[in-house]
Each structure stands twice: as structure tokens, then as C-alpha cells.
Structure 1
Amino acid sequence: MHTTMQQRVEDLAALRERTVLATADFYAKLGRPAPAEGPNYKAVAKGNAWHIVEVKTGKTRCFCFSYKAALRFVDALEAAATRKLVGRQ
């Protein structure tokens, strides 16, 4: 990766970390628990297929032709996202 791009990525990661800490401090001052994050993916019925949509971006990741397969795929994507987040903390 280009050095300026790498620097930008590191700066954004540091800002994100500060944002998370500031939010936790804010809720601690209020004496309330921080809100839990929602799901990263959802299954949406469109025609004869189920589209697996990323909630934050609204982009379709894939599609399945049965509800059961769509839910299994959503669960797999959520588990993969959780594994990636655990490694970063």
C-alpha cells in the first residue's frame, strides 16, 4: 500500500478508537449502558430471491433462493465479522 494511504488508514483507525472511547465515557458519565450494535447484515426478500444486504452501506453482498439458506449465510457473515473484530481489539 502506498505510504500516504497507509498513513491515512492508521489515522482513521486512531480516530475511530478515540470515538469509541469517548462514547463509552459519555455513557459512563450518564450512568447508562452503551447501546449494543445492531446486526451487520440482513436478509431482504426481492422477487424470488433473498438478498443479503450489508446494513451500513446498503449494498447487496449475495443472494439466495431459499429463506433457510439466506439465514445460514447471514449467520456465517456475522460470525466472520465478529472474528475480524475480535482480532483488532
Structure 2
Amino acid sequence: MHPSMQERVSGLADLRARSVMATAEFYELIGRPAPAPGPFFQAVTKGNAWHIIEIATGKTKGFCFSHRAAMRFVDAMEAGAASKRGLQ
């Protein structure tokens, strides 16, 4: 990666880390628990199928043809995303 681009990426990562720390410190100051992160995936019906959509990107990650299967798929994707992000 080009050095100036690498500097920008690392600078943005540092800013993101600082904003997360500032948010945590704010909630400590007011004595309230920090909000839990929202879901990463959502099941949306389209025609006769259920599309599993990643909320952050809006991209379809899978298809199911019953509600029960779609909910199982969403639960599996959520568990995988949580384990990758260190939430479990």
C-alpha cells in the first residue's frame, strides 16, 4: 500500500479507537451501561424466498425458502459474526 494511504488508514483506525473509548468513558461518567450492539444480519422476504441481508453493507448473504430456515440461517450468521468480533 502507498505510504500516504497507509498513514491515512492508520490515522482513521486511531480515530475510530478513540471514539469508542470516548463513548465508553461517557457511559461510565453518567453511570449507565453502554448500549448493546445491534444485529448484523436481517431476514427480508422477497417473493417466495427469504433474503439474508448484512445490515452494514446491504448485501444479500444467502437465501432460504421458509421462515424457520431463514431464522436458523440468521442465528448462525450472527453467531459467526459475534465470534469473529470477539463478542462471545
TM over 0.5: yes
**Gaps spanning 5+ residues in structure 1: where?**
none
Per-residue deviation, residues 10-35 of structure 1 (Å, max 9, x unmatched):
33332222111110111111121111
TM-score using structure 2 length: 0.80
**Shift of the alpha carbon at 1:41?**
0.4
Question: After the TM superposition, which parts of structure 1 deviate over 6 Å for at least 4 consecutive aligned residues?
Answer: none
Instruction: Quote the residue 1:37 is aligned against.
Output: 37
Q: What is the correspondence of 1:34-73 to structure 2 with a 5 Å cutoff?
A: 34-73=34-73
Number of positions where the alignment pairs a residue of Structure 1 with one of Structure 2: 86
SS at 2:37 equivalent: coil
Structure 1 residues 49 and 16 mapped into 2: Cα distance closer, same or farther (>3 Å)? same
Give distance in 2, aligned partners of 1:79 and 1:31.
29
RMSD of equivalent CA atoms: 2.0
Matches of 1:32 and 1:64 in 2, distance apart?
39
- Which string of whole-angstrom CA distances, capped at 9 and with x for unpartnered residues, describes residues 25-71 of structure 1? 11111121111111100111111000101112222222111112211
Segments of 5+ residues of structure 2 without an aligned counterpart are none
Mapped to 2, the partners of 1:16 and 1:22 lie a distance apart of: 10
> CA 1:14–1:52 in structure 2 vs 1: closer, same or farther (change >3 Å)?
same
- TM-score, normalised by the number of residues in structure 1: 0.80
